[in-house]
Amino acid sequence: MSESRRAVVTGAASGIGRATASRLLLEGVSVLAVDLRDPEIEGTESFVCDLAQPADRERLIESSHGVDYLVNAAGVIELKPIWQFTVEDWRRIQTVNAESIFFLCQGIGPRMPSGAAIVNLSSSSAKLATTLEAAIYAASKATILSITRSFAYALAPRGVRVNAVCPGIVDTPMQDQVLDEVAHLRDMTRNELEAARNAMVPLGRPSTAEECARLIWFLLSAESAYMTGQAINWTGGMVTW
């Protein structure tokens, strides 16, 4: 791998994506920070695009030749009773959360050098069904696990590793959205829902985005050189399989 390392991080404007971009900068990696709006992270190169649009994905792929790391952290969520989701909801969420990851892995992976690595952001919701209000989001995150396994096999001959992270409860703007909207849908207060969710975590607290970024860096780095095709839980013990 070249001494001058370069990464693409999607969803870099907030949450885990932003924390990962910042961690990569600390590790001396040049970062192309991708989001629907300018991530405005000092020291990174911003790339504004809509990952739901094939033409925008192609622009990103063409700007990513030879990158050492790809972190697919972009994602959207919509929350409503499971009976009220529409076909349009399904297509919108799956397009951003799953379709974009498949085609970025397909487009960027074969251009990466030996020793490179990809990390896809899945979720504990890929393995649990406790938040039915996020059923389509959960389905998209389960799809990511299959995408990760497929590209781990496809890119292994190139020496490119592909792993996934399954975060549980992490302090991010998306988590705030979940707490606010699900509490409303369940006729609870936000504090009541937050306490109930934290009670599901054996370690008794949510993770910070920065803590999760440490795991992502481990999976990108040579410290995990013998790992590929894995889905690593980051749930404080809430999920153990």
Which domain covers residue 19, as residue numbers?
6-168+208-234
Is 111 within a domain? Answer: yes
CA distances from 40 to 12, 32, 35, 47 (A): 9, 11, 10, 10
Averaged pLDDT score across all residues of the chain: 97
Tens of pLDDT, residues 82-93 = 999 999 999 999
Tens of pLDDT, residues 190-222 = 999 999 999 999 999 999 999 999 999 999 999
Is 190 within a domain? Answer: no
Is 199 within a domain? Answer: no
pLDDT at 117: 98
pLDDT at 51: 98
Q: Which residues are catalytic?
A: 137
Is 22 within a domain? Answer: yes
Is 183 within a domain? Answer: no
pLDDT at 3: 64
Counted domains in the chain? 1
Residue 2 has pLDDT above 80, yes or no: no
- Largest Cα span, the chain: 54
Q: Name the pTM for this structure.
A: 0.97
Reported confidence tier of residue 1, pLDDT bands at 50, 70, 90: very low
Tens of pLDDT, residues 110-134 = 999 999 999 999 999 999 999 999 9
Instruction: Please report, for the domain that includes residue 103, its CATH number.
Output: 3.40.50.720
Is 189 within a domain? Answer: no
User: Per the structure block, which two tokens stand in for 18?
Assistant: 């932003």
* Across 72-86, average pLDDT: 98
Is 202 within a domain? Answer: no
pLDDT at 4: 87
d(CA 107, CA 118): 12
Q: Could you give the dihedral angle defined by the CA atoms of residues 180, 181, 185 and 186, in that order, rounded to the nearest 10 degrees?
A: -40
- Side chain identity, residue 205: R
Would you say 67 and 18 are in contact if contact means Cβ atoms under 8 Å apart? Answer: no
Is 226 within a domain? Answer: yes
